[in-house]
Amino acid sequence: MVQVSTAWLTDPPHQQVRDDVDLVLFRRALKEGAGFRFRRILLYDPPSDLGGAPDRYAAAQADHAAWIGRVRGHLATIGAEGSAGGSLPEGCEYTVRLLILGRAGTRTGPTVEDGLWTDPTPPADVQAAWSDPRLIPLDPHEELIIGPHRDRNPLWQGAFLG
């Protein structure tokens, strides 16, 4: 599943669908004994050019932080792989990677459009984006890591990506 459109942060119907999808995936992962693979690409942070009133960006930032916090909590609860290991049964995976939008002076990240695929193999552009080293894994345990140099901090990580 790819959810990188700003509508997930600014449009109430999209926000409701987003929250419903999060809950469905979480419940399925809790109940399923084996045989699921959930892979998601989400935004690392909202783009600064949302347009409209100045407080629109602040609202999108707050909504995004709450969303990522919920997803991180779901991953930790089900035992998804992360810095503290993982405890999902064999054949089960729930992984989230974060897309950093292009910043001035940096290379543009992978381009991929929103979508949901239930086939074992998503389209080639989604597979290519998933394999891009510029995506940052969402670590379920990152909130426990203290300091500005967390492994997944894009400013820290970006120093090594060249």
The burial class, CB within 10 Å (0-12 / 13-18 / 19+), for 7 is middle
What does the block give as tokens for 35? 């045989």
pLDDT at position 15, please?
Answer: 96
Q: What confidence category does residue 143 fall into, taking pLDDT thresholds of 50, 70 and 90?
A: low
Order of strands, edge to edge, in the sheet holding 136-137?
2-3, 36-43, 92-99, 136-137
Residue 111 has pLDDT above 90, yes or no: no
Q: What pLDDT digit, counting tens, does each position of 8-27 carry?
A: 999 999 999 999 999 999 99
Question: pLDDT tens digits for 79-93?
Answer: 899 877 888 888 899
Model confidence pLDDT, tens digit, residues 43-74: 988 887 777 777 888 899 999 999 999 999 99
| C-alpha 113 chain-centroid distance | 14
Q: How confident is the model at residue 104 (pLDDT cuts 50, 70, 90)?
A: low
